[in-house]
Amino acid sequence: MDLSIIIVSWNVREKLLTCLNSIFKNLNGLDFEVFVVDNGSSDGSALAVKKNFPQVKLTENSKNLGFARANNLALGRSTGEYILILNPDTEIYADTVQKSLSCIKTDPQIGALGCKITNADGSVQPSVRRFPTFCSQLLILYKLHHFFPRLGPLRRYFAADFDYETGAEVDQIMGAFMLLPRKIFTQVGMFDENFYIWFEEVDLCKRIKAAGFKIYYFPEATIKHYGGQSFKQLMPLKKRNFFNESLLLYFRKHHNLLAWLCLAAAQYGSLFLVWLYQFKKVKASDPK
């Protein structure tokens, strides 16, 4: 088996069906299998997959198990020499996967490969970042990246000067499209299931690089990504809480105790800001 494609989905039925259609339309000549892990969707996603794509290996979870655990369920059943982690709100093109496989096969030191990602309007979607630092994440916790994006720690973290037309070794790639050799999971382990959402792919990239492999950005292959379709369903305070929990877990694993303690204290201020914003929003919409 050349390739196992794994898609974790939650309440994005139409986007998921479009994604699957693009896969079966464009992966001619490859021996591949497709896994869809439905994370407790209530929009009929699982039924639609069964009806329209009976060849898909479907796992139906009774509740949302999170991105990491859901991916691991499919990884444990997969047989492909290469694994493609793909978001359900993406579309691939005729040569996306073929070109990506050709590239990763030429260099045994590539541990994970990401392609160029575009928005629905064709513009390039930033998909490369450096690893999180204390300063960058403290600024993000307090939403300061929206007001002061040119601050040094933020520019470095978001790789503001990165050339998306040139292939390069990077720190981390977006989890919307991650192509990995199976051997990587044998050597560094699967996704850390302690991450519910956010930072699970960052943690994986960190472990891959620590093991001596490359994270490679490959612009000759492209996908379309609608972006954040599942996250949009979460309430802001709940979303922020998930983010904070994953951020703290990442720092506990990969940074010193002082950085973790400072961010642990700072997270309460970030939660208060989100609560205050929601409170003012509700109050402003009150007809009284």
Task: State the pLDDT at residue 268.
Answer: 82
Task: State the pLDDT at residue 267.
Answer: 87
Q: Tell me the Ramachandran region of residue 227: left when phi exceeds 0, alpha when psi lies from -120 to 50, beta otherwise.
A: left
Task: State the pLDDT at residue 143.
Answer: 86
3-class DSSP state of 243: helix
pLDDT beneath 50, residues of the chain: 279, 282-283
Task: State the pLDDT at residue 142.
Answer: 86
Q: Tell me the Ramachandran region of residue 10: left when phi exceeds 0, alpha when psi lies from -120 to 50, beta otherwise.
A: beta
Fold of 3-285: Spore Coat Polysaccharide Biosynthesis Protein SpsA; Chain A (3.90.550)
Q: What are the residue ranges spanned by the domains of the chain?
A: 3-285
Answer whether 200's CB lies under 8 Å from 246's CB. Answer: yes
This prediction's pTM: 0.92
Instruction: Give backbone dihedrals phi and psi of 90, rounded to 5 degrees, phi first.
Output: -125, 165
Task: State the pLDDT at residue 279.
Answer: 45
Whole-angstrom distance, CA of residue 104 vs CA of residue 100: 6
Q: What is the CA radius of gyration of the chain?
A: 19
3-class DSSP state of 136: helix
Task: State the pLDDT at residue 283.
Answer: 47
Sign of CA dihedral 276, 282, 284, 286: negative
175 CB neighbour count, 10 Å cutoff: 23
* pLDDT per residue as tens digits for the range 123-178: 999 999 999 999 999 999 888 888 899 999 999 999 999 999 999 999 999 999 99
Task: State the pLDDT at residue 282.
Answer: 46
* pLDDT per residue as tens digits for the range 114-125: 999 999 999 999
